[in-house]
Amino acid sequence: MSTTAPAAPAAEPAPPHGGYDPVALTESLASAAEKGAKLISDFAVRNAGKQAAVASDELGLGKAFMELAAKMLANPVRLAEGQMNLWRDYMSLWQSSMLRMMGAPALPVAEPAKGDKRFKDASWHEHFMFDYVKQSYLITARWLHEQVASVEGLSDAAKKKVDFFTRQYIDAWAPSNFALTNPEVFRETVASGGQNLVRGLNNLLDDIERGNGQLRISMTDAKAFELGVNIATTPGQVVFQNDLMQLIQYEPTTRKVWKRPLLIMPPWINKYYILDLREKNSFIRWAVNEGMTVFVISWVNPDEKLAHKDFEDYLLEGPLAALDAIEQATGEPDANVVGYCLGGTLLAATLGYLAARKKQKRIASATFMTALVDFTEAGELEVFIDEDQVSSLEKKMQERGYLEGTEMANTFNLLRANDLIWSFVINNYLLGRDPFPFDLLHWNCDSTRMPAQMHSYYLRNMYMQNRLREPGGLTLAGVPIDLAKVHVPAYFVSAMEDHIAPWKTTYAGPGLMKGPARFVLSGSGHIAGMINPPSANKYGYWTNDALDGDADTWFANAEQHDGSWWSDWRAWIGPYLDREVAPRVPGKGKLPVLEAAPGSYARIRVDAT
């Protein structure tokens, strides 16, 4: 899960420069040239003797855009109409710009969308030339997107691919991404005598070197954070582990705790500590302070030795093993369970498994955070998931035994390219600044691998075939999974701007089970909407007790609230916490302490960044 995390805060302005220094500039260029030559040499050595790669179209873009071209040419009238509309807008812009040049007021022909951070610099509005460049781009971008979106007769798969990758093309050509057409970069270049571009070149070369010949954009200062020191600091102990996970039990902070423990199951696409970044926004610390005995699964970062691990193994060695361990540690036979993203998908499968085994009382309540159970409309990730792409991916995974974490992260970054790619291109390479130290982006870059067998099963059975929602569609550990047999109380929370687990799709989750359910919609996206403590008082959330209509009907009748959904969840889970008992200290039960949190599994990194 790479995250759809928010863009990093703007880096601090570079210190004033002493103007153009030809000696310093020459030295910097020489250093960059030397570094570039070394990278080229290293690349040649690594690829010596390898045959030239045959061009392929694994994404199926050639086929999709050929289909688009054929449909567009089949309707020349609409094509000509689109060209006339574009010409009209350009003429309007020219007229508006001429009025501005003569000092007359003129309304803009095209304006950035609300929240578009690319054009926040005042010069985009105040300076005639930059305003003209900006509006020219926005007019062309709008026209191109409308032309593509209005084509009729495209297959659903082709339509999604064309729309997504057209947007990537449009974003890439934004004038903010080029030195001469970005006013902030232009000013910095003049002020520093071009030193910013040389520093940016060195940053670029460093990122290529860090990626062993491939560009790995630095999003944050990785050296600014250390697990257990300034992130993932909630005191706890690892009390159980197996091949796939470590189970962390957190130290109590209250004089009494609630009798029924809480198990949190994060996705294994990323590290668990998104739920424990800093004290002020840690869901784990907050739950501990609410008197809950909190356990968290910390998934391993797998290598080729775990290539054979399947989704079934994640079920048996994940939540089922954790529930057994929690019973040993606390004496409690059941627990409240939270599943985040892919962890929520696994939670649904776990509920189906326990229901079939007549053991569903082991989970007293189930909370699903931005979790897909029904994959009918699985969002923009569908662009990357079809037979050709999955087959190609499976071949790559079989060679190594896993999917590289950076490959998954790059896919998620594309979902919000302006925030997670181009903003860093501007900051790091054009302005020549170091990335800002930001804990959320540090976590986002701390990617994890996926075992080949598990990831193939997940993509095919969930995304492609949507079998979890079908009674008996999946069989795990010899048990047919039927969510209709699940009667456990469930709380579903999703985020309005989530690109990974669209809320209108997650809304289908409660309807697949038979227990009492509550659905809550938070503001913001997949990460910020979930990691939203009450003290921040941000985003707000919507509630509606009636779940008998579709998602649009639910939202039309929902009530908006200020603050965080955490408060609503705390009220909901209250009846399932049971009575108060003496605090449980990790290691004082039947499970000994293995090591301190965050544990060794969370410290395994894909790279040394």
**HEC string of 203-221?**
HHHHHHHHCCCCCCCCCCC
Average pLDDT over residues 38-52: 52
Cβ count within 10 A of residue 87: 11
- Percentage of the chain lying above the pLDDT 70 cut: 90
Point out the least confidently predicted range of 38-42, 88-92, 264-268, 545-549.
38-42
Average pLDDT rounded to a whole number, residues 532-548: 93
Does the annotation count 445 as an active-site position? no
Least confident of 69-83, 244-258, 373-387: 69-83
Which pLDDT score is estimated for 207? 86
Segment (H or E) for 560: strand 559-561
Confidence band of 289 (pLDDT split at 50, 70, 90):
very high
Alpha helices by DSSP H, listed for 22-155, are 22-46, 61-73, 76-101, 123-126, 128-149
For residue range 319-362, what is the model confidence (pLDDT) as tens digits?
Answer: 999 999 999 999 999 999 999 999 999 999 999 999 999 999 99
CA distances from 220 to 379, 407, 436, 445 (A): 27, 18, 5, 8
**pLDDT at 8 (0 to 100):** 45
Give the model's confidence band at 2: pLDDT under 50 very low, under 70 low, under 90 confident, else very high: very low
- pLDDT bin (cut points 50, 70, 90) of residue 42 is low
Euclidean distance between CA atoms 396 and 404, whole angstroms:
10
Q: What is the pLDDT of residues 71-124, one digit of tens each?
A: 888 888 888 888 898 899 989 999 988 888 888 888 899 999 988 999 999 999
The two tokens of residue 527 are 């990460």
Q: What mean pLDDT value characterizes the chain?
A: 88
**Per-residue pLDDT tens for 142-186?**
999 988 888 888 888 888 888 999 999 999 999 999 999 999 999
Contacts of 531 (CB under 8 A, 6+ apart): 274, 275, 277, 281, 283, 440
User: Which of 262, 341, 500, 528 does the annotation list as catalytic?
Assistant: 341
The tens digit of pLDDT for each residue in 466-490 reads: 999 999 999 999 999 999 999 999 9
The CA distances from residue 473 to 331, 437, 483, 511, in Å, are: 35, 45, 10, 17
The answer to whether residue 11 scores a pLDDT higher than 50 is no
Q: Is the pLDDT of residue 40 over 70?
A: no
- End-to-end CA, the chain: 19
Contact between residue 530 and residue 564 where contact means Cβ atoms under 8 Å apart:
no
**210-219, 285-294, 392-401: range with lowest mean pLDDT:** 210-219
CATH number of 240-373+471-603: 3.40.50.1820
Which pLDDT does position 317 carry in this prediction? 98
The pLDDT assigned to 3 comes to 44
Give the SS3 label for residue 61: helix
